[in-house]
Chain A
Amino acid sequence: MAAAAPVAMHRPLAAEEAARADFYALMARLLVDAPDAQLLGTIAQAGPLGAGSGLASAWQALVDASSAMDADAAREEYDALFGGLGKAKVSLYAGHYTGAGAVDHPRIRIQRELESLGLAHRSTTQPEDHVGALLDAMRVLVAGGAGRGPAKLEEQRRFFEGHVGPGATKFFAAVAAAKEANYYRRVAALGAAFLAIETESFRMD
């Protein structure tokens, strides 16, 4: 009989915390690349979130749009909005919205913060201020990952308020205002609704 391997026990996340992590994961995914047919189909088949909240309405709008969208059109829209390195219609980089100084660029501050949270790579060429990357960092802080548990709520709050919320909120507003946006206008509405909830919830304790 083989020797028993050590088993790591992880406390399951509360439903609302798991949902936060899932939202961060989905938003990050949609900002890193256009949705493919499988992802569009998955969203299209998802059920409602409930009634009466702005998040639920925004979610339903994205579900409906996903059922009508095809992957090629999503790709074209993504490229039209975010393509063209250095001259994109809508910048995917938070530094664009929060003021990127030559000396104290947001990437440097983000890198320092991530290092303090045990997430940073030591390379100097990292995508810290990509909005999708920031949202995915939040996912890890909320849900944890292999070898680490969720970050403390105060740590999540500090990273969100310092590096995610301000830039990402302006980013979603820019997407919503872009004439090229169609499917991504729904993505932006959902992102904005979710960030508003996060902003409010971080003020509650």
Chain B
Amino acid sequence: MKTTRPSNRRNFLLTAGLGGAGVAAAVATGARKAGKSAPEAATASAETKYRATEHILKYYETTKV
């Protein structure tokens, strides 16, 4: 089954610069590999579960009454 998307939206995104071959993909790959906190930073992990990073948990510690 083919997924249908509005052609005008797709054209708009492509014209805006999204869809250029591999540029953003290469960067995103670098982001995931390079950042020591990138995996923990993901709100949705590989199991699509939200996680609290150490940084954010520290923030929440400061909000406790």
Please give the residue numbers on chain B whose beta carbons come within 8 Å of chain A beta carbons, in ascending order.
3, 5-6, 8-10, 12-21, 23-38, 41-53, 55-60, 62
Contacts and interface: CB of A to CB of B under 8 A. Distances in A.
Given A114-B50, A145-B48, A204-B12, A32 B17 contact: no
Give the residue among B14, B31, B32, B43 with the most A Cβ atoms within 10 A: B43
B48 A119 contact: yes
25 contacts: A15-B14, A16-B10, A16-B14, A33-B38, A36-B36, A39-B31, A42-B34, A43-B27, A49-B20, A49-B23, A85-B62, A119-B44, A119-B50, A123-B52, A127-B43, A127-B57, A132-B41, A133-B41, A133-B56, A136-B43, A139-B42, A140-B43, A140-B44, A145-B45, A153-B5
B51 to A, nearest CB: 7
Nearest to A91: B59
Given A49-B17, A137-B43, A32 B38 contact: yes
Nearest to B3: A11
B44 A136 contact: yes
A11 B1 CA distance: 10
